[in-house]
Structure 1
Amino acid sequence: MAFLQHTLILYLEAAPWLLFGLLAAGALKALVPEERIGRWLGGGGAAPVVKAAVIGAPLPLCSCGVLPAALGLRRGGAGRGPTVAFLVATPETGVDSIALSYALLGPFMALVRPLAAVLSAVFAGLLATLAERTMPPEAPRRGPVIPLMVANDRCDGAGCGCSHDAATATTGRSTAGRLAGGARYALSDILDDISLWLALGLLAAGAVATWLPPLALAELGSGPLAMGAMLLVGVPMYICATASTPLAAALLLAGMSPGTVLVFLLAGPATNLATLAVVGRELGRPVLVAYLVGIVVASVGLGMATDALVAAWPVDIAAQLADGAHGWLPAWVEWGSGGLLALCAVPPLRRRLPGFGTWT
């Protein structure tokens, strides 16, 4: 009974912030000028790499959903370095995961996480740019830029019947119409992609809060060995930034250091076996090595810097975890948000909601 109570409390605290993040992600989907981004990332040097990291950070794409978008950028004229920076930054964070991080991890981690994502993406992108200079020149590979906001990993393009078709059909509509399409996209396709892992993460966090003593992993929860273990778990794993947040909260509750948890938050969403295979095939083995080295070195380096910052500054992670966003919002907002998300997470129920019947 205590387990269910702890899990329900975590879910209700997270629900309004997750809903806010999803709607913000839908707004980005509706308003970002997709056709211009590929042109912004052309050219050489560090500037396109930095732009790719900054552009990718808020976008709501997971580690597999980002692949067609990144390849579209590449074939639209972006260099290997900006492509890698986009591949790293986009799945590591997003407006939805930042909102959820604030609710479950506290303001310190909610600030550190997106900053670390951008820095790690820039580092990996610069390494890829250096690796590209060692490779023979290739023939131009131009092609149609794949839309940045693919609906999900199962979308096969126009005519598939998913909300991607409906969202792309909003071109030329009013701003309100585009925002409505973006909201439907967020509460269907994005939520479908994260709901299973999000549920598992919340259950894990509830189990930790119920049965694992506080600071149980404090002795093993910091340092290079612990961070190396997080890399071994995170690199081959497929998990998106939002769904990894409850797991990160569980690790923090168990006593792992914020820096060690940050390694998991960076390496887990940014890599998986499918991404590694595509990077090696499309961008070349030297760039694949640069991609992996960049993520590993940046994750561990930023994790150690985070632990040093927590030790040097009066940052009480335990207090922030205990407080979270609890008490900030009235109960009816938490229950209403939780109920709406639960309905939207079940497609047969979602189709009965106004405006969703012909979109999902």
Structure 2
Amino acid sequence: MNFIISVFSESWNLLLEASVYILFGILVGGLLKVFLSPATVARHLGEGRFTSVFKAAILGIPIPLCSCGVLPAAVSLKKQGANSGATTAFLISTPESGADSIAITYALMDPIMTVARPVAAFFTAITAGLTENLLHAPGHGKNQVTADLSCTVDGCCDGIDCPPEVHKHHHSFAEKLGAGLRFALSDLWGDMACWFLLGVILGGFITVLVPEELMIMYLGGGLLSMLVMLAVGIPLYICATASTPIAAALILKGVSPGAVLVFLLVGPATNVTSLTVLFGILGKRATAIYLTTIALFSVGFGLILDQVYMGFGLSAQAVAGQASEMIPYSARLAGAAILLILSVKPLYLGLKSFFIKTSHDHHHHSDEASPASPLSPFKTPECRSST
């Protein structure tokens, strides 16, 4: 019982530290959805080896989509004419960063890590995108993009029969603001709530269970630490926001900031499901470039980051979470309460979906095992990636 109380206590502390910042992050994400739709931006990503990649990388930084959530957006960009380099850059910078994950990194860690995370994501995305476009130059003229100009507020028009200059008078700023807030607090948080709370609980487990000496011994810095984190992060599915409480717990246990950065970059950008879909969207070469660039740059930036902390004589362990102390306890408590209230519906739907899937799987296997049973009308459920 003491163990459970300790885990709950550590998880609760992580939630308190992150609450106000993550609320701010998801609100920014909701406004980006209304005022800066990725589909609308697609028209900028079709032509040019260099400018399209730069635009895709920079636009991906604030958009809060995880590694599986970014896939439909990338498919949309590709179908609308975005070249492979721009699509690759968007696929890297978007899940590795985001307004929400930047805010929570500042809350749970420190300003250096907060800056290092999007900077590393940006340069990784630029390199992968340019490499893809230099090896396979995008077409000129034939890849002209047709932007999706449909209304992001309430779908009132498609932007074709109703041109943008006409549609801009349909909704006031207040209506757009309201639509962005509704999206942030329902859809956006709904997509990440289960994963984030799981990350908070895992962070609590790590804080209570894992011996500090073990972490320092194997993950205290150096190339081996980076490679271990690389091996852990590549197959793992975890979104940028959910990975942050785990990373904060690792920092507090003595893991080097560079090794934690590798985890923060690789975990959200790669997993078995997303790599499989990438293979279908972009092909073998682009997928290989994607994975190789992420691996090399995450390790490289991890080694550089360790040197930065050493050079300034800073301890990531000592300064972790100091930003949250600037927020009054009452505000942190209110933020945590709001997040938990907003999480009730997503948690209920997530658990319901899990149990239904488990029940279907059980019945399916039972039918297969029974020689007298008729052929099951259900096919084996496909693995579906959660956003």
The 1-side partners of 2:275 and 2:11 are apart by: 34
The 2-side partners of 1:349 and 1:229 are apart by: 32
Give the counterpart letter for 1:100 in structure 2.
I
Change (3 A) 1:106 1:144: same
Give the 3-state SS of the residue equivalent to 1:239 in structure 2. Answer: coil
Q: Which ranges in structure 1 are unaligned for 5 or more consecutive residues?
A: 148-157, 159-163, 351-360
Match of 2:30 among 26, 30, 41: 26
Tell me how far 1:208 sits from its aligned partner.
3.0
Tell me how far 1:300 sits from its aligned partner.
1.0
Tell me how far 1:260 sits from its aligned partner.
0.8
Deviation by residue 1:288-344 (Cα, 9 ceiling, x = unmatched): 111111111111111111111111123321221152412x12222112111111111
Change (3 A) 1:146 1:296: farther
Partner of 1:99: 103
Change (3 A) 1:42 1:277: same
TM-score by length of 1: 0.84
Partner of 1:309: 308
Change (3 A) 1:291 1:332: same
TM-score by length of 2: 0.79
The count of aligned residue pairs is 333
Partner of 2:378: none
Tell me how far 1:103 sits from its aligned partner.
0.7
Give the 3-state SS of the residue equivalent to 2:307 in structure 1. Answer: helix
Tell me how far 1:212 sits from its aligned partner.
3.7
Q: Following superposition of structure 1 onto structure 2, how do residues 279-294 of structure 1 map, counting pairs within 5 Å? A: 279-294=278-293
Contact persistence 2:104–2:244 (CA under 8 A): yes
Is residue 82 from structure 1 mapped to residue 86 from structure 2 by the alignment?
Answer: yes
Change (3 A) 1:238 1:212: closer
Tell me how far 1:90 sits from its aligned partner.
0.4
Give the counterpart letter for 2:273 in structure 1.
A
Contact persistence 1:188–1:345 (CA under 8 A): no
The 2-side partners of 1:255 and 1:336 are apart by: 30
Q: Following superposition of structure 1 onto structure 2, how do residues 1-360 of structure 1 map, counting pairs within 5 Å? A: 1-32=5-36, 34-133=38-137, 168-169=155-156, 172-214=170-212, 216-221=214-219, 222-321=221-320, 323-326=322-325, 328-347=326-345
The 1-side partners of 2:266 and 2:245 are apart by: 16
Contact persistence 2:89–2:128 (CA under 8 A): yes
Tell me how far 1:226 sits from its aligned partner.
2.1
Deviation by residue 1:166-195 (Cα, 9 ceiling, x = unmatched): 654597321111111111111122212222
Change (3 A) 1:129 1:215: farther
The 2-side partners of 1:188 and 1:116 are apart by: 30
Give the 3-state SS of the residue equivalent to 1:62 in structure 2. Answer: coil
Give the counterpart letter for 1:104 in structure 2.
L
Tell me how far 1:282 sits from its aligned partner.
2.0
The 1-side partners of 2:327 and 2:182 are apart by: 24
Partner of 1:155: none
The 2-side partners of 1:323 and 1:234 are apart by: 26
Kindly report the root-mean-square deviation, in angstroms, between the aligned alpha carbons of the 2 structures: 2.8
The 2-side partners of 1:313 and 1:58 are apart by: 28
The 1-side partners of 2:211 and 2:276 are apart by: 40
Deviation by residue 1:38-83 (Cα, 9 ceiling, x = unmatched): 1211222222211110001100111111112112212222211111
Partner of 1:152: none
Q: Which has the larger radius of gyration?
A: 2
Deviation by residue 1:100-119 (Cα, 9 ceiling, x = unmatched): 00111122111111111111
Contact persistence 1:14–1:104 (CA under 8 A): yes
Deviates more, 1:113-122 or 1:166-175: 166-175
The 2-side partners of 1:82 and 1:185 are apart by: 26
The 2-side partners of 1:81 and 1:349 are apart by: 37
Tell me how far 1:15 sits from its aligned partner.
0.6
Give the counterpart letter for 1:257 in structure 2.
S
The 1-side partners of 2:218 and 2:155 are apart by: 48
Contact persistence 2:11–2:200 (CA under 8 A): yes
Deviation by residue 1:192-232 (Cα, 9 ceiling, x = unmatched): 22222211221222233334444541121122222222222
Deviates more, 1:216-225 or 1:7-16: 216-225
The 1-side partners of 2:293 and 2:300 are apart by: 10
The 2-side partners of 1:291 and 1:211 are apart by: 35
| Percent of matched pairs sharing the same residue | 40
Deviates more, 1:334-343 or 1:38-47: 38-47
Contact persistence 1:84–1:125 (CA under 8 A): yes
Give the 3-state SS of the residue equivalent to 1:325 in structure 2. Answer: helix
Q: Which ranges in structure 2 are unaligned for 5 or more consecutive residues?
A: 158-166, 349-387
Give the 3-state SS of the residue equivalent to 1:218 in structure 2. Answer: helix
The 2-side partners of 1:218 and 1:54 are apart by: 35
The 1-side partners of 2:200 and 2:346 are apart by: 23
